Structure 1
Amino acid sequence: MIDLHGWAAFGVVTGAALVWLIILQATTFAIGHRLGRYNVVDVTWGAGFVGVGIIALILGPGDPLRRWLLAVLVAFWGLRLTWHVWSKTKGKGEDPRYEEMLGRAGGGVGTVIKKVFATQGAAQWFVSLPIQVSAVVGATSGPWIVVLVVGVALWLVGQVFEAVGDAQLKSFKADPANKGKVMDRGLWAWTRHPNYFGDSAVWWGIWLVAASAWPGVVTVLSPVIMTYFLVFATGARLLEKSMSKRPGYPEYQERTSYFIPLPPKKNQGDGDPATSGTPRGGERS
């Protein structure tokens, strides 16, 4: 249970996290405004969580082992993601998803700040609540150790899906022979969005680590919101809209699971799994 001292400590941690995220999003907006493209916000998505993890580690008075564990898990995930998105988007134009979103909303500066940067900053703060709460509570003990171990295992599954999926897509797109094809090999044969599924699994794992000590379990809405963003809000759903217009993608949709990894369906024509390639089913913004 968090006592008055614990609530005060949580106030310090969450206040510092908010200040960090506001500064980060303001700086990112300034850079994006100067470049004329706002998909730079995706580069700082992972970095924002890394900063919150460090803040929780330094300022939190809770169990040091769990604070270190969460800081390391978040840093490993966030830094890899930041590097991947930066290397993928540098020198390129605006993401079609943002063009569509901002086009519908009017596209002014105020709209950009509200719809993109303020929304992302608020999402980063809310999704990172398990880390913040966990930083001010006591040690995991007894049977709850099992919950912590399961959380780390789920984080590992998510990290593998995300990193391997990204590497498979990068290798596929580097081959000129695959130009214009649909990537349906490796993990992409099991789910159209292994990267988004991996993100979701990572954050459910982080929540389980936090839930191994009361009251971390009450932050369950954080991974729920993260999954909602990945599946419905700014992730897979928007990407599917543009990808479904590409030749071969509707057929890929028919034979491959949308989000949860499942064995690929057989082609009705010859009974063999599809082997044509594709741009990333769940391309990260």
Structure 2
Amino acid sequence: MNDLPWGDIALNVVAVTAAIIVFIGLIMAAAIKIQNQSIIDIFWGPGFVVAAVVSYLVSSGSGGDDTRRLVVLALTSVWGLRLGLYIGNRNRGHGQDKRYTALMRHQQGSLIGFLIRKIYGLQGGLMIVISIPVQLAMYESEPLGVIGAIGIAIWLIGFLFEAVGDWQLARFKADPANAGKVMDRGLWAWTRHPNYFGDAAVWTGLFVLALGSAWGLLTIVSPIIMTKLLVSFSGKALLERGMRRSKGEAYDAYVAKTSGFFPLPPKRQPSGAGTAS
């Protein structure tokens, strides 16, 4: 395996951890003041931008390929800032998300201790771990080459699925004629979660960009954790339970013809079968 400046990388992890702690602490303080814990969702993406910026600055002069460093910084920042702006605009004026309201009903003991254990400590820890490919890539001296180009292509596919899927859904919801209907158009006809698939692809692309050395293979933990979160925990599984309760048979029909995660052509329905719209 290619040698890397492990002392510098360790310092980078410490710096990122400190920056994320401060970042998360400020968000928690603001959330307590306005009594809305769901604002953390807005800052999920930007938290990775903090990790990327700190890594870029700390890695300066450490021998990492400058093109790789700039590309990783740019791609992480574009993804994180777009996601934060989208969620911020979507949540504006809606108050605290019901998921957080339900969680807060179980609060016992110190409010700050409860919030660190259940929300902010968990999310901050995930930011540090999932951003590992971004951190390591800053120290790899190899030029991007073909593998780097593949990583950028995967990131671009993911970003387009996420951004276009969010845009299509926002337009659909903004039309009063669609009230109570299931979104099954555009990218949503190919996967029930184009935004979540896109998120997973973005982090797979960033993992590939960390393959400037064989050590980069270890950072595969990042897209694995992100995909697991999106599929089994805070994303797909949680959302689909709510959709089944609110949409009923219309959502069941949508599920029957549409891939659950990876984009695939819509399944043909039997003649005479109804469609969710």
Q: Give the TM-score, by structure 2 length.
A: 0.91
Find the partner of 2:124 among 121, 125, 128.
Answer: 121
Residue 268 of structure 1 and its aligned partner are, at CA, apart by 2.7
Aligned to 2:258: 256
Aligned to 1:75: 77
| Correspondence 1:22 to 2:21 | yes
Matched ranges for 1:162-241 at <5 A:
162-241=162-241
Aligned to 1:282: none
For residues 275 and 237 of structure 1, what CA distance do their matches in structure 2 show? 20
Structure 2 vs 1, CA of residues 112 and 267 (structure 1 numbering), >3 Å: closer, same or farther? farther
Residue 182 of structure 1 and its aligned partner are, at CA, apart by 0.9
Give yes or no for contact 1:63–1:136 (8 Å, CA) kept in 2. yes
**What is the aligned length?**
268
Give yes or no for contact 2:151–2:208 (8 Å, CA) kept in 1. yes
Q: For structure 1, which runs of at least 5 residues remain unmatched after alignment?
A: 277-285
For residues 104 and 187 of structure 2, what CA distance do their matches in structure 1 show? 32
For residues 75 and 217 of structure 2, what CA distance do their matches in structure 1 show? 18
Find the partner of 1:133 among 112, 126, 136.
Answer: 136
Query: Which residue identity lines up with residue 164 of structure 2 in the other structure?
Result: V
For residues 107 and 154 of structure 1, what CA distance do their matches in structure 2 show? 41
Give yes or no for contact 2:67–2:143 (8 Å, CA) kept in 1. no
| Correspondence 1:35 to 2:34 | yes
Query: Which residue identity lines up with residue 122 of structure 1 in the other structure?
Result: G
For residues 102 and 224 of structure 1, what CA distance do their matches in structure 2 show? 29
Residue 123 of structure 1 and its aligned partner are, at CA, apart by 0.5
Comparing 85-94 with 63-72, greater Cα deviation is found at 85-94
Structure 2 vs 1, CA of residues 91 and 2 (structure 1 numbering), >3 Å: closer, same or farther? farther
Residue 84 of structure 1 and its aligned partner are, at CA, apart by 0.3
Give yes or no for contact 1:56–1:67 (8 Å, CA) kept in 2. no
Structure 2 vs 1, CA of residues 236 and 99 (structure 1 numbering), >3 Å: closer, same or farther? farther
Give yes or no for contact 1:97–1:239 (8 Å, CA) kept in 2. no
Give yes or no for contact 2:187–2:194 (8 Å, CA) kept in 1. yes
Q: Give the TM-score, by structure 1 length.
A: 0.89
Give yes or no for contact 1:66–1:134 (8 Å, CA) kept in 2. yes
- CA distances 1:203-241 after superposition (whole Å, capped 9, x unpaired): 000000111333212111111011111111211111111
Please state whether the residue corresponding to 2:192 is helix, strand or coil. coil
- CA distances 1:236-277 after superposition (whole Å, capped 9, x unpaired): 1111111111222222222211111111122334368x351x
Residue 102 of structure 1 and its aligned partner are, at CA, apart by 4.9
Query: Which residue identity lines up with residue 107 of structure 2 in the other structure?
Result: G
Structure 2 vs 1, CA of residues 189 and 32 (structure 1 numbering), >3 Å: closer, same or farther? same
Please state whether the residue corresponding to 2:214 is helix, strand or coil. coil
For residues 82 and 175 of structure 2, what CA distance do their matches in structure 1 show? 23
Please tell me the root mean square deviation across aligned C-alpha atoms, in Å: 1.7
- CA distances 1:18-51 after superposition (whole Å, capped 9, x unpaired): 1111111111111222222211111111111111
- CA distances 1:126-183 after superposition (whole Å, capped 9, x unpaired): 0000111111221237xxx221111100000000000100110111111111111111
Residue 189 of structure 1 and its aligned partner are, at CA, apart by 1.0
For residues 20 and 185 of structure 2, what CA distance do their matches in structure 1 show? 37
Aligned to 1:281: none
For residues 101 and 233 of structure 2, what CA distance do their matches in structure 1 show? 15
For residues 139 and 212 of structure 1, what CA distance do their matches in structure 2 show? 5
Aligned to 1:94: 96
